[in-house]
């Protein structure tokens, strides 16, 4: 089982991510002469590249651990099939999200101490998630962006997404 996981992880990394990266890098290169639809395709392939890189790395870690007799949790659970941003983050990099939930969000009071505390806790978790990715402004702003988006979704959009056809939620999440 461990060897099969390693092979799948290598496939995701080498075949999916690295091949997509060639096209993405060519289109987004400063000297690129591509235009129009090429940027849309490159952006979609970049999403595939990210999944192949992170998912492949996680699967390879799971395979290596399995060979050593250690069972790790599945770190990705079809995140691109999510119907909301909140669901996406529950399915993408599960170990990181679980850690932030268990060791930051819940100890701060989670959602059990009123709306203001819940909003503060979401903001803190996502600010820290940005720092976790890297101590530079682009990562901090990335964390703030997702914190704001998740707060907006939770209080203004989630009910509408639940009532809408599944494809609406999928498209919203992917966009």
Residues designated catalytic: 133
| Measured distance CA(171)–CA(168) in Å, rounded | 5
How far is 44 from 55, CA to CA, in rounded Å?
Answer: 16
Query: Which positions ≥6 away from 162 have C-beta within 8 Å?
Result: none
**What's the rounded Cα separation, in Å, for the pair 108 and 113?**
9
End-to-end CA distance of the chain: 35
Q: CA 160 to CA 153: how far, in whole Å?
A: 10
């Amino acid at each position: 089982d461990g060897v099969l996981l390693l092979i799948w992880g290598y496939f995701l990394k080498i075949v999916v991510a690295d091949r997509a990266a060639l096209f993405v890098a060519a289109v987004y290169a400063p000297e690129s002469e591509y235009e129009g639809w090429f940027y849309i395709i490159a952006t979609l392939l970049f999403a595939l590249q990210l999944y192949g890189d992170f998912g492949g790395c996680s699967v390879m870690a799971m395979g290596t651990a399995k060979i050593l007799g250690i069972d790790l949790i599945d770190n990705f659970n079809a995140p691109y099939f999510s119907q909301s941003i909140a669901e996406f983050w529950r399915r993408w990099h599960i170990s990181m999200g679980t850690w932030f939930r268990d060791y930051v969000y819940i100890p701060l009071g989670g959602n059990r101490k009123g709306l203001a505390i819940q909003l503060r806790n979401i903001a803190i978790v996502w600010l820290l998630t940005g720092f976790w990715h890297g101590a530079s402004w682009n990562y901090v702003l990335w964390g703030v962006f997702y914190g704001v988006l998740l707060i907006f979704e939770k209080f203004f959009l989630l009910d509408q997404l639940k009532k809408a056809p599944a494809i609406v939620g999928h498209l919203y999440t992917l966009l």
